[in-house]
Amino acid sequence: MQKQQNIIKSYINAYNNFGIDGMLATLDESIVFENITDGKLTMTLKGINEFKIQAEYGKALFSSRRQTITDFKDASQHTEIEINYHAVLATDLPNGMKKGHELNLKGRSIFKFTENKIVYIRDES
């Protein structure tokens, strides 16, 4: 399980540094990403190409962003992390949030692996 935790740490570190190539390096070609907000599925991405497009879009939205892992929970089929999330918007959003607005959230992410790559991520906030 330590190997999987290290892969997750690499992914989070790349995310925090806007390192799309570093994020992609940890992912399997068939990655499935799901985002859950307030108990509702808000996004599903299938495959590394869809993930890359979304990562590039997301990079432009924030002037800074940081996920901080507060806990790891290893299970037989997956690894779950608890996170604190802080970000600052780089642009105005259609939902009314303005450039410079700070987001502070708590959430969790579930990671599944195939060999030495992440094959599934579910972000919940």
What are the residue ranges of helices labelled H in the chain?
2-16, 20-25, 48-61
Residue 76 confidence (pLDDT) = 83
Reported in sequence order, the residue ranges of the chain that DSSP labels E, i.e. its strands, are 27-37, 40-46, 62-74, 79-89, 102-114, 117-124
pLDDT, one tens digit per residue, over 10-54 is 999 999 999 999 999 999 999 999 999 999 999 999 999 999 999
Burial pattern 63-81, b for ≥16 Cβ within 10 A else e, equals: eebebeeeeeeeeeeebbb
pLDDT, one tens digit per residue, over 69-108 is 999 998 888 999 999 999 999 999 988 999 999 999 999 9
pTM above 0.85, yes or no: yes
Cross-strand partners of 107: 83
| Domain with residues 2-124, CATH architecture | Roll (3.10)
Residue 86 confidence (pLDDT) = 97
Residue with tokens 């949030």: 97
Q: What residues does each domain of the chain span? A: 2-124
**Phi, psi torsion values for 49, nearest 5 degrees:** -70, -45
